[in-house]
A and B are shown apart, each in its own frame.
Chain A
Amino acid sequence: MLSKGNQNMKLKSLLLATFFATGLNTAHAAEGELSIGTEGEYPPWSMADAAGNVTGFDADVGNLLCAKLEMKCHFVVQAFDGLIPALKAKRFDIIISGMSITAERKKQINFSVGYAELANMFVVKKDSNLAGVKDIETLLTSLDGRTVGVQAGTTHAHFMEKRASSAVLKTYDTLDQMQIDLASGRVEAAFADSSALQDFLGRPDGKDFQFVDVKVLSTFDPTLGEGIGVGIAQENTELKARIDKALCELVADGSIGKASQTWFKTDISRPCQ
């Protein structure tokens, strides 16, 4: 079957050509441009609208940073637990997505200095017997056997796995899904940062819920990280130096504090140490 042989030869060389074409060296993003990975579904940090434009605290930090570095910015929206893999695959240059700096993540990517920090809290139904708990140890032990919602891949998820492993953990790709399940009663409590949950409590479906009056800080457990930083690829040390310098200046001159006031009604910026 000569003809088939020929067909296959042709196909084979086509395949080979494709494979070799992919061997070409990947050039990095054009000079003076910075692509920023962000979740886009985490109000008030990062919200993408129907047209794909990103607003929120993360967007403000990104734009301030780019102005300082005199670079052009664009945002790439990506589910939170895919951000680090995507950064490593060079889908974008940096991550700005309210991401806490943790030891685990540092094994994968580099971080800028921490520029913000926020308390983490639980939200429960107003008539729940958890609502009145006042200290963290009691809270963690009384979560035994209860369903708790967290967002996948977050410090909150890792914290729960470590410190409240007897609770039934439900992980969600987005905070919206978690809040829908909290409102419908599929989960009894949700754990996230206070700003994100504040946003939920302000919505109509959050009216029957309240905070548990326990602020879980990163000083309580290191899985909660060392403040929020910009994620940078490990090999990109030159960029890290420039971003660190810019962030310290932006915190010092109050720009990040001002953005924080806009979105959180409080200053969550963290001075350079």
Chain B
Amino acid sequence: MDLELVFLAVPTLAKGLWLTAILTIASVAIGFNLGLALAVMRLSKNSAVSGFAKGYSTVFRGTPLLVQLFLFYYGLGQLSFVRDNAVLWWIIGDGVHCAVMALALNTAAYTSEILRGGLISIPGGLVEAAQACGMSRLLRFRRITFPLAIRQALPAYGNELVLVVKGTSLASTITVLEITGHAKRLMSQTYAILEVFAIAGLLYLLINLVLITLIRLLEARLTRHLPR
């Protein structure tokens, strides 16, 4: 490996690291809440509400993220009512905003499936006991259902977070200069394909390693009362 090239590539790609982190954090923050809402909707007795949540999850999990991204960025960007609406154009008109939206809507679908699994796993007796104690619905959700569901869902959600980090690389296809975008530009300047993509790959591995470690620590904390 050419050392001079490494010194050129590392700082350039590190510039993209910020945007990759921002894309991940913003889309996870939005996607988690949306996913939680969808998971709760999914368990609703109203079939229209649960049907909507199921349909949403099917559509977003059944199509490639790249298609969703292009449909939002180029597809919606073509429609004049989107361009003329200030709020919509703020989202669709900018590559970063649009990528966050697509990633958030996409991860929400997967998150809803994961959290639904967590919610179903809660023993009915626990909820009934809380009911018997006179807890309100909201309090029950906050104190009993939600924390238990999260603990159950955490390992699977950790995997989903890794998928979101990997998904941010697609933002490079709509002109966003995150790690992959910088890597591609650097490649067309230096043609040092292997070196550039290897360094970019290492950065992603590093992010994911940090993320997985954090999830493991959180998991250990949430299950600290359990015997080992």
Contacts and interface: CB of A to CB of B under 8 A. Distances in A.
Partners in one complex: yes
A104 B173 CA distance: 24
B223 interface: no
A36 B83 CA distance: 40
Given A84-B191, A152-B185, A180-B74, 20 more contacts: A81-B184, A85-B193, A107-B191, A152-B184, A152-B188, A158-B189, A170-B95, A170-B175, A171-B175, A171-B184, A171-B185, A172-B175, A180-B77, A181-B175, A184-B77, A184-B78, A184-B93, A186-B93, A186-B94, A186-B95
Contact of A81 (B74, B173, B175, B187): B187
Contacts of A107: 191
A81 B186 CA distance: 11
Nearest to B188: A153
Contacts of B187: 81, 85
A170 B185 CA distance: 10
Interface string A89-121: 000000000000000100110000000000000
Most chain A CB within 10 A, of B83, B93, B175, B185, is at B175
Interface string B78-114: 1000010000000001110000000000000000000
A157 interface: yes
Contacts of B188: 81, 152-153, 157
A8 interface: no
28 contacts: A81-B184, A81-B188, A84-B191, A85-B187, A85-B191, A104-B189, A152-B184, A152-B185, A152-B188, A153-B188, A157-B185, A158-B189, A170-B95, A170-B175, A171-B175, A171-B184, A172-B175, A173-B173, A177-B74, A181-B77, A181-B175, A184-B78, A184-B83, A184-B93, A185-B83, A185-B93, A186-B94, A186-B95
Nearest to B74: A180
Interface string A161-179: 1000000001111000100
Contacts of B94: 186
A152 B95 CA distance: 16
Q: How large is the interface on B (under 10, 10 to 19, 20 to 34, 35 or more residues)?
A: 10 to 19
B39 to A, nearest CB: 35
Contacts of B191: 84-85, 107-108
Contacts of B173: 173
Contacts of A171: 175, 184-185
A172 B189 CA distance: 15
Contacts of A81: 184, 187-188
A104 B188 CA distance: 10
Interface in B131-168: none
B76 to A, nearest CB: 10
B184 A186 contact: no
Interface in A188-240: none
B185 A180 contact: no
A45 B77 CA distance: 27
A180 B78 contact: yes
Contacts of B185: 152, 157, 171
Contacts of A180: 74, 77-78
B15 to A, nearest CB: 13
A158 B191 CA distance: 13
Contacts of B189: 104, 158, 161
A157 B188 CA distance: 10
A108 B173 CA distance: 25
B85 to A, nearest CB: 13
Contacts of A161: 189
Going nearest first, the 4 A-B pairs with the smallest beta carbon separation are: A153-B188, A170-B175, A81-B188, A184-B77
A251 B172 CA distance: 40
A9 to B, nearest CB: 32
Nearest to A176: B74
Interface in B156-204: 173, 175, 184-185, 187-189, 191, 193
